[in-house]
Chains A and B, each alone.
Chain A
């Protein structure tokens, strides 16, 4: 799960990770009040959306007076912010973070995440702050320092020192950065985060070390342990159809294609999307109905898929292992009647009681295109979208 920068910083503060003084604002007036409360003479007005590249897109602006805070806040709030991560449609800015301005001496990068190749967490640091880390990794991998963390002992002092020496830090900045790294790892571990990325991490002219930005993602599987973080979910940052699907316990992801699909199992769902493309269409979604493919879930699936106006056909692909295909077929017939589906539906049910299921579909009086094998299903999809 993703959260906003200001929420991430609130959490970091609790774990003694230094962040600039700041406050969230939902209106222009709140923005000015926040600036007054923070004090000083320079502020930064930052758009809060779940995507990176906000600065380049015009979502981060400096203000030298309260009047300027008001002007910048008015410009950014409600704007459609387009960055390389939002796609061409961009995101509407609904929240702002007002922060104190900093005397930045250096910008660096630090990130903590799981290293899948050795099944350990890894702390990465780089002198190349403010740049996309993937770019650094691709072009100058030697500029990324890494320390793998032993899960039993956590990040050690010597590892933090090694990273800070590697970054070329000295004096107060060195001491503060070591403390920063240790605190950040504690925060990462204690919150069950899947990513804690500070880009940039800044050293001020006074030698302070602070998180100028904060990207914290949580492991969805661990959210049950952290109900307070689960509440930070911002539904306005998500696709409305995906929000609706998650309310029905369906695993749905909206895509841009013209053929909807409904499948049991994530791997088979991805494979079915691939088949749609090979058949000449493009998948309109990913949808895993999971182990319980019944009338209720299928109906919910139909309703969500059909709300997408670009869908011209639907492919249902269920492999009945433990699930019986005849039951799934009954569910599909019932759901199709309830939802009144007007576009072609290709159905492929395989596994337990597949023959019975085919009979049920063929005798339903509804115009299903029933396929026996995956290959046949692909061919029927091709003809369905050609029609």
Chain B
């Protein structure tokens, strides 16, 4: 029904007693996420009910170390709300304690820390989402992160994005049209991230309950091109894509640490071209994500039973015509 997280996920919140950690833990519990533990060094052994502002509906046991939380509660996934200066340590602690999936919400972690963290978790076979991301949600089952739960709808479209609020925008457009989501992953806006477009695309491609994918990239780096290459070769599910920053000037960091065109590389134009070449339905306006996906899904449904054709080189803005000649079925 989803990728990476579902109702069986057992979540530990690192930095649970901080104000951010408390606020979002309350929201996650109310969404139905299986929060089993919290970690704040020095506050272990207590039951945490939230603070005056944000009261939990049920108490969460707090531990001094992630290892103890894993041992006592069988937590398998961690979310990190620890401040930037200590976040690298927190990620490595989770990875060293048997956690298999770490979701790092924290923004502003120094790159030099992340270079080390990345090597550290790779060696231990741990997957990370983020940092500097909204998190991951499988609608109706499990919300890990800071996204507003109510805009989501359970369904069969997978969504991958480098951004926060732009992701919510896309989700809203889908939900408004009655198109539900299997899982939405905010992979984060930093130059070093644990899960890249390619990784997430592979997972969605394998997931039997995901029919189509939305990919929202932005300027900087070449992760979108990398994923597009894979999609061209190996993905039959339709993909709708957008790249933010078509009007961004070169050499300037556009908010996200990773959103910068440097040495003429990482422009929206070249990413969009790579995506178009891979048969992705690229929209020029972010306002068209929802309706394009709706059209793509409808045309798929209409041609169900017929031989599915790869969506190559079809412009999403062009009115959809029935293919004048059906592709040879390769029985």
Which chain A residues in 80-119 approach chain B with CB under 8 Å? Answer: 85, 114, 116-117, 119
| Stretch from B68-76, B228-236, B248-256 that touches the partner | B248-256
Q: Please, how many angstroms separate the alpha-carbon atoms of A268 and B186 in the complex?
A: 13
Report yes or no: B109 in contact with A221, Cβ–Cβ below 8 A.
yes
Residues on the A chain within 8 Å of B204, using CB? none
A350's partner among B119, B172, B191 (CB-CB below 8 A) is B172
Report yes or no: B287 in contact with A378, Cβ–Cβ below 8 A.
yes
Residues 10-48 of B, flagged 1 when their CB comes within 8 A of A and 0 if not, give 000000000000010000000000000000000000000
B218's partner among A85, A219, A267 (CB-CB below 8 A) is A267
Report yes or no: B264 in contact with A151, Cβ–Cβ below 8 A.
no
- Give, as a whole number of angstroms, the nearest-CB distance from B262 to chain A: 9
Q: Does B216 contact A (CB under 8 A)?
A: yes
The total number of A-B Cβ pairs within 8 Å is 175
Report yes or no: B166 in contact with A219, Cβ–Cβ below 8 A.
no
In the complex, the chain B residue whose C-beta lies closest to that of A121 is B115
In the complex, the chain B residue whose C-beta lies closest to that of A150 is B119
Q: Does A386 contact B (CB under 8 A)?
A: no
Report yes or no: B218 in contact with A276, Cβ–Cβ below 8 A.
no
Report yes or no: B167 in contact with A274, Cβ–Cβ below 8 A.
no
Residues on the A chain within 8 Å of B172, using CB? 319, 350-351
- Give, as a whole number of angstroms, the nearest-CB distance from B261 to chain A: 11
Report yes or no: A378 in contact with B285, Cβ–Cβ below 8 A.
yes
Q: Does B257 contact A (CB under 8 A)?
A: yes
| Stretch from B95-103, B146-154, B205-213, B307-315 that touches the partner | B146-154
Residues on the B chain within 8 Å of A271, using CB? 163, 166, 169, 242, 244, 286
Residues 137-167 of B, flagged 1 when their CB comes within 8 A of A and 0 if not, give 0000000001110110000000001111111
In the complex, the chain A residue whose C-beta lies closest to that of B146 is A322
- Give, as a whole number of angstroms, the nearest-CB distance from A192 to chain B: 5
Q: Please, how many angstroms separate the alpha-carbon atoms of A253 and B164 in the complex?
A: 20
B119's partner among A85, A152, A220 (CB-CB below 8 A) is A152
Q: Please, how many angstroms separate the alpha-carbon atoms of A374 and B168 in the complex?
A: 12
Q: Please, how many angstroms separate the alpha-carbon atoms of A294 and B142 in the complex?
A: 30
Known interface pairs A117-B222, A266-B189, A286-B254; A222-B116 also in contact (CB < 8 Å): no
B287's partner among A269, A282, A374 (CB-CB below 8 A) is A374
Q: Does A255 contact B (CB under 8 A)?
A: yes
Report yes or no: B115 in contact with A119, Cβ–Cβ below 8 A.
yes
Known interface pairs A268-B163, A278-B285; A116-B191 also in contact (CB < 8 Å): yes
- Give, as a whole number of angstroms, the nearest-CB distance from B134 to chain A: 8
Known interface pairs A351-B168, A374-B287; A192-B112 also in contact (CB < 8 Å): yes
Report yes or no: A267 in contact with B110, Cβ–Cβ below 8 A.
no
Which chain A residues in 128-154 approach chain B with CB under 8 Å? Answer: 133-134, 137-138, 150-152
Residues on the A chain within 8 Å of B285, using CB? 274-275, 278, 374-375, 378
Q: Does B284 contact A (CB under 8 A)?
A: yes
Main SS of chain A's interface residues? Answer: mixed
Known interface pairs A116-B222, A321-B165; A286-B109 also in contact (CB < 8 Å): no
Report yes or no: A286 in contact with B242, Cβ–Cβ below 8 A.
no
How many B residues, CB 8 Å from partner?
62
Report yes or no: B191 in contact with A274, Cβ–Cβ below 8 A.
no
Q: Does A5 contact B (CB under 8 A)?
A: no
- Give, as a whole number of angstroms, the nearest-CB distance from B320 to chain A: 19
In the complex, the chain B residue whose C-beta lies closest to that of A286 is B254
Report yes or no: B164 in contact with A119, Cβ–Cβ below 8 A.
no
B247's partner among A119, A133, A265, A274 (CB-CB below 8 A) is A274
Q: Does A283 contact B (CB under 8 A)?
A: yes
Report yes or no: B115 in contact with A221, Cβ–Cβ below 8 A.
no
Residues 329-358 of A, flagged 1 when their CB comes within 8 A of B and 0 if not, give 000000000000000000000111000000
- Give, as a whole number of angstroms, the nearest-CB distance from B245 to chain A: 4
Report yes or no: A319 in contact with B165, Cβ–Cβ below 8 A.
yes
A265's partner among B84, B118, B166 (CB-CB below 8 A) is B166
Q: Please, how many angstroms separate the alpha-carbon atoms of A133 and B264 in the complex?
A: 11
Residues on the A chain within 8 Å of B112, using CB? 189, 192, 219, 222
Q: Please, how many angstroms separate the alpha-carbon atoms of A192 and B163 in the complex?
A: 25
Residues 240-275 of A, flagged 1 when their CB comes within 8 A of B and 0 if not, give 000000000001010101000001111111110111
Q: Please, how many angstroms separate the alpha-carbon atoms of A150 and B287 in the complex?
A: 43
Report yes or no: B255 in contact with A251, Cβ–Cβ below 8 A.
yes
- Give, as a whole number of angstroms, the nearest-CB distance from B153 to chain A: 15
Residues on the B chain within 8 Å of A251, using CB? 255
Q: Please, how many angstroms separate the alpha-carbon atoms of A374 and B291 in the complex?
A: 12
Q: Does A363 contact B (CB under 8 A)?
A: no
Residues on the B chain within 8 Å of A134, using CB? 263-264
Residues on the A chain within 8 Å of B246, using CB? 273-274, 277
Report yes or no: A267 in contact with B247, Cβ–Cβ below 8 A.
no
A-B contact pairs, 23 of them (CB 8 A): A116-B192, A116-B222, A138-B264, A152-B119, A221-B257, A251-B255, A255-B249, A265-B255, A266-B255, A268-B165, A270-B244, A270-B255, A271-B242, A274-B247, A277-B247, A278-B284, A286-B254, A320-B148, A321-B168, A351-B148, A374-B287, A375-B288, A378-B287
| Residues of A bordering B, CB below 8 Å | 85, 114, 116-117, 119-121, 133-134, 137-138, 150-152, 189, 192, 194, 219-222, 224-225, 251, 253, 255, 257, 263-271, 273-278, 282-283, 286, 288, 319-322, 350-352, 373-375, 377-378
| Residues of B bordering A, CB below 8 Å | 23, 84-85, 108-112, 114-116, 118-119, 146-148, 150-151, 161-169, 172, 189, 191-192, 216, 218-219, 221-223, 226, 242, 244-249, 251-259, 263-264, 268, 284-288
